[in-house]
Amino acid sequence: MTNYKNPWWKNSVIYQIYPRSFQDSNGDGIGDIRGIINRLDYLEDLGIDAVWLSPVCKSPQDDNGYDISDYQDIDPMFGTLADMEELIRRAGERGIRIIMDLVLNHTSDEHPWFLEAKKSRDNPYHDYYVWRDGTEGELPNDLRACFGGPAWQWVPELGQYYFHQFSVKQPDLNWENPRVRREIYDMILWWMDRGIGGFRLDVIDQIAKEPDLGITNNGPRLHEFIRELSRETFQKGDLITVGEAWGATPELARRYSNPDGSEFSMVFQFEHIGLDQQEGGSKWDLAPLPFQKLKDVLDKWQTELWGCGWNSLFWDNHDLPRIVSRWGDDGQYRVESAKMLAILLHGMQGTPYIYQGEELGMTNVRYEIGGYKDIETLNLYKERRELGYAHEEIMKSIYARSRDNARTPMQWDDSPQAGFTEGTPWLKVNPNYPEINAAGQMKDPQSIYSCYKQLVRLRKEHPVFVDGRFELLARESGQIFAYTRDDGKQRLLVVCNFSGEPADSGLAEEWKSMELLLGNYPDSQGDRLRPYEARMYLQKCRQQERV
Ligand code: TEU
Ligand code: CA
């Protein structure tokens, strides 16, 4: 059973691997499980505690594995079940747990359940999915799918529509059906028997949909379903569980991550991530980052979950552009700004996530439209062309926001294809790999990689990282992001210049009495902060000092 008071995952750092882009081992241009096993030295060196693997289950790969056709087998593209078991075991020997991505809102349309379901209305599997009667061309309602187009797909043989919140090849499961829930629990228990260290729950806030009411996220039965899921499965082991919830508020997050362990370990929410887009628009409608708002949002989450919930800390994942290109400077100050963003994030309360390549300061890419592979990107391009947008305008959005920015192959070294594959990679390697790669950075104590490595270590050394209460400083400053964490025994001060111009923080007097833990310039001298300069200070044992 989990120790909810002091769970292991509170001072852990999680590394996210997007398997198809991490390391290819057999020259077919696609990363695989064997490739991950071959890179365990790297993960151990970085010091992370767990790996979140994006889906490796059997899948037609319409949405790169988020469309599962067999939850209890591995896609041959990634390897075999035996490879997966070997990964779990060999990672475990190094103290690294494997977290699986559970996609429970929908399956692939090639899953045997769906193949049965669409055979007839009285097939026992029919009710595993969400159907509505209708006539062709007259949709049940105007709900849209997240990847564009209507959320309803006509099946002429049945005279019915099925509901899909993502692509047409991702039909939504019907969680109202207790048999669906039971099948899912049994599948999860089966993975737990195989030694899985935890689960990341894909779009979990969308499982309790009520399409007739237009409800997709946060349906009325959502937390009832999650509590049952947790009780029937996760609570029988010592797992880390992470609920992906785009629409979470701090109030909802306190339920998802209730310290009594009734739902998940933590929530993975995106409020800070949606700030630089136009109001009323989508992520493709770009707007500058409102810096004050970023501070307010992060401050709100730090304050409102303190003592009563647990958050994930992240800038990047496989759906998001590279943070250094987004809110840092991927030109002149790439190294400084990537480290600043890392220091800013890792000093906060929560469990930090490092997305593969983030620790190297990997950047966004700009390809011809034909170079993109992501279904969301390709659908967007088509949809906006049809709406009359100019090619250049759409490409601007794609350069900034395409999910493929995060999915270019991992840059291991300066050999051909960045050491990712001996064949042709499924998605082109970022051409900057000769300058930005792991091999170069691992031997450089001033590299972005080394900065991340130190941050991982610091979190384990100082309890204040886990428990310290957050206080935002310099709230009005248009350049400075600064805060303290205080647990009564230790005080941590993080001061960051979030701009390309020098800045005064007004905090120099404060840090003079403190010990420097980490900075992002070779020296951390002077009262003024240089462009993107960041520093982390610690004060110990104040009680003792007073004596
Ligand atoms: O993403 C949830 C989700 O809402 C995304 O589709 C998001 O809107 C989009 O990626 C923003 O660009 C999860 C997975 O992380 C994603 O990779 C899957 O495509 C999606 O669920 C469907 O399973
Ligand atoms: Ca391969």
User: If you measure from the C-alpha of residue 119 to the centroid of ligand 1, how many angstroms do you get, rounded to a whole number?
Assistant: 29
Total Cβ atoms within 10 A of residue 133:
10
**Among the options 49, 83, 101, 202, which is catalytic?**
202
Q: What is the C-alpha to C-alpha distance for residues 160 and 118, in angstroms, rounded to an integer?
A: 9
Q: What is the C-alpha to C-alpha distance for residues 427 and 367, in angstroms, rounded to an integer?
A: 10
User: If you measure from the C-alpha of residue 35 to the centroid of ligand 2, how many angstroms do you get, rounded to a whole number?
Assistant: 8
Which of the ligands is closest to the CA of residue 24? 2
Joined tokens for residue 486: 């205080």
Q: What is the C-alpha to C-alpha distance for residues 126 and 141, in angstroms, rounded to an integer?
A: 21
Is 122 among the catalytic positions? no
Which ligand 1 atom is nearest residue 105's CA?
23
Q: How many CA atoms lie within 13 A of 135 on its CB side?
A: 1
User: If you measure from the C-alpha of residue 255 to the centroid of ligand 2, how many angstroms do you get, rounded to a whole number?
Assistant: 40
Instruction: For ligand 1, atom 5, name the residue with the nearest CA.
Output: 319
For the cut 90, the answer to whether the pLDDT of residue 151 exceeds it is yes
166, 312, 320, 375, best to mutate for ligand 1 pocket (most atoms within 8 Å of CB): 166
- Mean of the pLDDT values across residues 390-418? 98
pLDDT tens digits for range 196-249 = 999 999 999 999 999 999 999 999 999 999 999 999 999 999 999 999 999 899
- Mean of the pLDDT values across residues 44-51? 98
For the cut 70, the answer to whether the pLDDT of residue 149 exceeds it is yes
The per-residue pLDDT for 193 is 98
The per-residue pLDDT for 138 is 95
- Mean of the pLDDT values across residues 458-469? 96
Cβ < 6 Å from ligand 1: which residues? 63, 66, 103, 146, 166, 202-203, 246, 283, 318-319, 376, 403
Three-class secondary structure of residue 11 per DSSP: helix
Edge-to-edge strand list for the sheet holding 515-519: 469-473, 480-486, 490-497, 534-540, 515-519
Q: For residue 198, what are the β-bridge partners?
A: 99, 240
Instruction: For ligand 1, atom 11, name the residue with the nearest CA.
Output: 319
The per-residue pLDDT for 547 is 40
The per-residue pLDDT for 540 is 85
**Among the options 32, 63, 101, 244, which is catalytic?**
244
Q: For residue 494, what are the β-bridge partners?
A: 483, 536
- Band (pLDDT 50/70/90 cuts) for residue 388 is very high
- Mean of the pLDDT values across residues 284-290? 98
Which of the ligands is closest to the CA of residue 376? 1
The per-residue pLDDT for 543 is 57
Is 202 among the catalytic positions? yes
The per-residue pLDDT for 542 is 58
Q: For residue 473, what are the β-bridge partners?
A: 482
Which of the ligands is closest to the CA of residue 22? 2
Instruction: For ligand 1, atom 10, name the residue with the nearest CA.
Output: 319
Which ligand 1 atom is nearest residue 67's CA?
23
* Cα-based distances in Å from 436 to 110, 421, 448: 39, 17, 10
* Cα-based distances in Å from 121 to 50, 158, 162, 198: 44, 7, 12, 36
Q: Using a cut of 0.95, tell me whether the model's pTM lies above it.
A: yes
User: If you measure from the C-alpha of residue 156 to the centroid of ligand 1, how many angstroms do you get, rounded to a whole number?
Assistant: 28
- Band (pLDDT 50/70/90 cuts) for residue 26 is very high
Strands 480-486 and 490-497: what pairing? antiparallel
Joined tokens for residue 54: 């994006």
The per-residue pLDDT for 546 is 45
For the cut 60, the answer to whether the pLDDT of residue 2 exceeds it is no
Instruction: For ligand 1, atom 20, name the residue with the nearest CA.
Output: 66
Nearest to 209 by CA among 173, 181, 241, 246: 173
For the cut 70, the answer to whether the pLDDT of residue 45 exceeds it is yes
Could you write out the three-class secondary structure of 125-157? Answer: CHHHECEEECECCECCCCCECCCCCECEEEECC
pLDDT tens digits for range 71-102 = 999 999 999 999 999 999 999 999 999 999 99
In the block, residue with structure tokens 């207790």: 178
For the chain, the helix, strand and coil percentages under 3-state DSSP, each to the nearest 5: 35, 20, 45
User: If you measure from the C-alpha of residue 320 to the centroid of ligand 1, how many angstroms do you get, rounded to a whole number?
Assistant: 10
In the block, residue with structure tokens 């136009």: 278
Strands 503-504 and 528-529: what pairing? antiparallel
Of the chain, the end-to-end C-alpha distance in Å amounts to: 42
Cβ atoms 488, 520 nearer than 8 A = no
Which ligand 1 atom is nearest residue 206's CA?
4
For the cut 60, the answer to whether the pLDDT of residue 4 exceeds it is no
User: If you measure from the C-alpha of residue 243 to the centroid of ligand 1, how many angstroms do you get, rounded to a whole number?
Assistant: 13
pLDDT tens digits for range 103-122 = 999 999 999 999 999 999 99
Which ligand 1 atom is nearest residue 166's CA?
22
For the cut 80, the answer to whether the pLDDT of residue 454 exceeds it is yes
Q: What is the C-alpha to C-alpha distance for residues 396 and 27, in angstroms, rounded to an integer?
A: 33
User: If you measure from the C-alpha of residue 319 to the centroid of ligand 1, how many angstroms do you get, rounded to a whole number?
Assistant: 6
164, 203, 378, best to mutate for ligand 1 pocket (most atoms within 8 Å of CB): 203
For the cut 90, the answer to whether the pLDDT of residue 337 exceeds it is yes
Q: What is the C-alpha to C-alpha distance for residues 194 and 80, in angstroms, rounded to an integer?
A: 14
- Band (pLDDT 50/70/90 cuts) for residue 1 is very low
103, 109, 202, best to mutate for ligand 1 pocket (most atoms within 8 Å of CB): 202
Phi, psi of 327 (to 5 degrees): -115, 0
User: If you measure from the C-alpha of residue 453 to the centroid of ligand 2, how many angstroms do you get, rounded to a whole number?
Assistant: 28
Which ligand 1 atom is nearest residue 403's CA?
12
Q: What is the C-alpha to C-alpha distance for residues 494 and 477, in angstroms, rounded to an integer?
A: 15
Which ligand 1 atom is nearest residue 319's CA?
10
Which of the ligands is closest to the CA of residue 400? 1
Instruction: For ligand 1, atom 23, name the residue with the nearest CA.
Output: 66
Which of the ligands is closest to the CA of residue 21? 2
Which ligand 1 atom is nearest residue 66's CA?
23
